[in-house]
Structure 1
Amino acid sequence: MKVDLNAALADVTAHWRPLRVAGYNGNDVMVVKVKGAFPFHLHEDSDDFFLVLKGEILMDIEDGPTETLRAGDLFVVPAGVTHRPRAPEEAEILLIEPAGLVATNEPQRREIGAR
């Protein structure tokens, strides 16, 4: 299944509201626009995959260093690690998570074509 990520991102109008663009092996592939800080949270049983498509994000790791991620950078937060992505300016990210996974305070996911 071909997905035009640029077209999908053009449909994203709110920050921190992931749009599910595909699924595979029980995972959701999502794109999201971010700006500002997401709350600190963790996923007890799964890693959290981030691929920065555009812009820059800072990944704060509780009791660890802050990583600066730029377009083309991939970062995996291990299961059980408390973290917070934040972006001083708008950035675009591709996320991969187990289908239906919800983090603390995570906005509802959308599917392509759903408003």
Structure 2
Amino acid sequence: MKSVNLDEKFGQFTSHWDPHVVAEYNNNEIMVVKFVGEYPFHKHDTTDDFFYVLEGELKMDIEGETARTVRAGELFVVPKGVVHRPRADKEVKVLLIEPKGEPNSGDSDREPSPKPRI
């Protein structure tokens, strides 16, 4: 058991759309990631998608609906099966929680990130 300094973890990488595992919780991976630009539309058939914005602001596009703005200090959960796309005009730092082994790319054609542990 030990505390995890998220600022220190964010300082260990510069890439975008590349989640890094910082802890595990009940068979879930807790990850940090930096976003800028847009990710492809996708969905996860068997799990919800959890986003907690630590710094910056992201837009969550939901197929057929108005985009939602998620600001620092806010979280957003996309229910399983819902087609969505996160995007950010400026770099945003996000904490993600996903079941171990869940590809971050969902059903999109994008290659899943390897999710290294830092």
Q: TM-score normalised to the size of structure 1? A: 0.94
Q: Which runs of 5+ in 2 are unaligned?
A: none
Q: Deviations over 1:15-64 (max 9, x none)?
A: 00001000011100000011000111110000000000000000000112
Contact (CA 8 Å) 1:48, 1:79: kept in 2 or not?
yes
Aligned Cα root-mean-square deviation (Å): 0.8
Residue of structure 2 in register with 1:110 after alignment: 116
Match of 1:84, SS? strand
Contact (CA 8 Å) 1:12, 1:32: kept in 2 or not?
no
Pairwise CA distance, 1:85: 0.2
Contact (CA 8 Å) 1:51, 1:75: kept in 2 or not?
yes
Pairing 1:19-98 to 2, within 5 Å after superposition: 19-98=20-99
In the alignment, the residues of structure 1 paired with residue 46 and residue 65 of structure 2 have an alpha-carbon distance, to the nearest angstrom, of 20
> What count of residue pairs does the alignment treat as equivalent?
112
In the alignment, the residues of structure 2 paired with residue 67 and residue 9 of structure 1 have an alpha-carbon distance, to the nearest angstrom, of 25
Fraction of identical pairs, as percent: 50
Match of 1:6, SS? helix
In the alignment, the residues of structure 1 paired with residue 82 and residue 41 of structure 2 have an alpha-carbon distance, to the nearest angstrom, of 10
Q: Which runs of 5+ in 1 are unaligned?
A: none
Stretches of 4+ aligned residues off by more than 6 angstroms: none
In the alignment, the residues of structure 2 paired with residue 108 and residue 83 of structure 1 have an alpha-carbon distance, to the nearest angstrom, of 21
Q: TM-score normalised to the size of structure 2? A: 0.92
